[in-house]
Amino acid sequence: MVKEAKMGDMEELVSDFSRFYILTILYEGPAYGYSILSRFKKRVGKEVSPSLVYPFLQQLEEKGLVKHTMKSVGEKRKKVFELTREGRELCLGLFKRFAGLVSAAIEPSLQICAHCGCKVYEGGYREVIDGIETTFCCIHCAESYKEEKRFSKSLVEEVR
């Protein structure tokens, strides 16, 4: 029973991610259904079902978040979907919330460069200085940091 609930939750989560990503595609500009399907597959590496995309586009249109126009593409007429002003505002709000979630998820993994203060997610440059392992974003910041320490130390010695 628990496994079934978790699988159902996972499918819903993936479905919600798919909807979120469909919105990001529309936020980039107008698109017709097939282009949404192909861009999704190209960027995410997985196919999204047309049975999810088209009803979702219809729901968005019913809520006034998306509008469509008919355009000729070759010999065919296709619906081209575009976010309305309200749809763009919704996306901006969702993007801010998603950015906050991503930030909260990676914040514990961030290191701060001892010289410039930028946040380093992976990699960076580490060096032991005065017996303390110190993190920098790059070797150039490490060199600048050490130079500043030498300069500060020489000023202190001059004052004595």
How many independent structural domains does the chain possess? Answer: 2
CA separation for the pair 13, 20 (Å, rounded): 10
Per-residue pLDDT of the chain (160 residues; tens, 9 = 90+): 444 444 445 455 456 889 999 999 999 999 999 999 999 999 989 999 999 999 999 999 999 999 999 998 788 899 999 999 999 999 998 898 888 888 888 888 888 999 999 988 888 899 999 899 999 999 999 999 999 988 887 777 777 6
CATH assignment at residue 12:
1.10.10.10
CA separation for the pair 151, 78 (Å, rounded): 68
Is 103 found in the same domain as 121?
no
Which domain, by its residues, includes 52?
2-107
Q: How many CA atoms lie within 13 A of 130 on its CB side?
A: 5
Query: pTM of this prediction?
Result: 0.62
